[in-house]
Amino acid sequence: MNLNVTLVGQTLFISALVTTLLTYFLSKGKVRNRMGVTILGFIGGLFQPIGIIVLIVLLLKKPIAQES
C-alpha cells in the first residue's frame, strides 16, 4: 500500500481535531482556563501520545469547586 504525504497530513489533522474537541468538552467545569487547555489539546493531538495523556489527565481530574 502506498502512503503519501497528503494522507499522512490529513490523518494528523483529523487526529488533532478530534483530540481538540474532546479536550474542549472534557475541560468544562474542570479547569479555569478552558481555552489554554484546548490549545494544549490541539498541540497534543498533533503528537498523539501526548494527546492521549492530556485526555487521561482531564478524565481523572475532579471538578473545581464553585466560588461564591
pTM of this structure? 0.83
Work out the pLDDT band at 53, boundaries 50, 70, 90: very high
> Residue 64 has what pLDDT?
86
- Determine the Cα angle at 40 with ends 36 and 43, to 5°: 140
Tell me how crowded residue 58 is: count the other CB atoms within 10 A of its CB: 19
Share of the chain above pLDDT 90, in %: 72
> Residue 29 has what pLDDT?
87
DSSP calls for the chain:
----HHHHHHHHHHHHHHHHHHHHHHTTTT-S-HHHHHHHHHHHHHSHHHHHHHHHHHHHPPPPPPP-
> Residue 68 has what pLDDT?
58
pLDDT digits (tens, 9 = 90+) for 15-37: 999 999 999 999 998 999 999 99
